């Protein structure tokens, strides 16, 4: 089983690249953003709580995210592994995820693939996405900048943990989409 943490700030292309990895390696994506949106759209208690943080450009508390994640991992699937997109973002979440995947999937995290993109490009991408997505967190430059700053301040420790485990790989997230995909594929092939 291949379990990938797909890492990168908001707007780095995680969602796009996850789709190519899913098709290539028969993986199932667990996107915390999608879990939040599903729960918010369906106005669940967890969704209402998540929305109150997201609307301010803040990260959702660990336990809310973990509860959503466990529910999703317990659903039946014939996938050959999982891509975790948007989680973990803190050292505590990293440790929680490792415990969850061992307990629920009986397999550890294989690799953390990190998409690297300059902040200026991230802001441009998110504002453009906000024009068509209807997402309130993508339409305000101040909120976007806060999300990016908060991402970096809270996720540096996650990168360090995966580096210590020899599981952290940086990929340039700027360029042709297919070119970025090929770099990601090459890293996954190394662990198969």
> Could you say which of 41, 56, 99, 135 is catalytic?
135
Give yes or no: 135 in active site. yes
Residue among 129, 163, 167, 183 flagged as catalytic: 129
Q: Are 3 and 85 in contact (CB under 8 A)?
A: no
How confident is the model over 102-138, as pLDDT tens digits?
Answer: 999 999 999 999 999 999 999 999 999 888 887 778 8
The CATH-assigned architecture of domain 2-179 is 3-Layer(aba) Sandwich (3.40)
Q: Could you report the per-residue pLDDT of 24-66, keeping only the tens digit for each?
A: 999 999 988 788 888 889 998 888 998 898 888 887 788 888 8
pTM exceeds 0.85, yes or no: no
Where do the domains of the chain lie?
Answer: 2-179
Q: Peptide bond before 86: cis, by omega within 30 degrees of 0?
A: no
């Amino acid at each position: 089983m291949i379990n990938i943490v797909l890492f990168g700030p908001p707007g780095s292309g995680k969602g796009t690249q996850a789709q190519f990895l899913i098709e290539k390696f028969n993986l199932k994506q667990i996107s915390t953003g999608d879990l939040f949106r599903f729960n918010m759209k369906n106005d669940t208690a967890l969704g209402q709580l998540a929305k109150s943080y997201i609307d301010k450009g803040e990260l959702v508390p660990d336990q809310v995210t973990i509860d959503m994640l466990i529910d999703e991992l317990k659903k039946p699937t014939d996938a050959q592994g999982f891509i975790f997109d948007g989680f973990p973002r803190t050292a505590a979440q990293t440790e929680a995820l490792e415990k969850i995947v061992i307990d629920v999937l009986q397999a550890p995290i294989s690799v953390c693939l990190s998409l690297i993109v300059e902040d200026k490009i991230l802001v441009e991408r998110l504002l453009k996405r906000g024009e068509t997505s209807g997402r309130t967190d993508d339409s305000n430059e101040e909120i976007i900048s806060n999300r990016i700053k908060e991402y970096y301040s809270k996720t540096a420790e996650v990168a360090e943990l995966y580096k210590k485990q020899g599981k952290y790989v940086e990929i340039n997230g700027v360029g042709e989409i297919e070119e970025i995909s090929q770099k990601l594929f090459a890293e996954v092939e190394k662990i198969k």
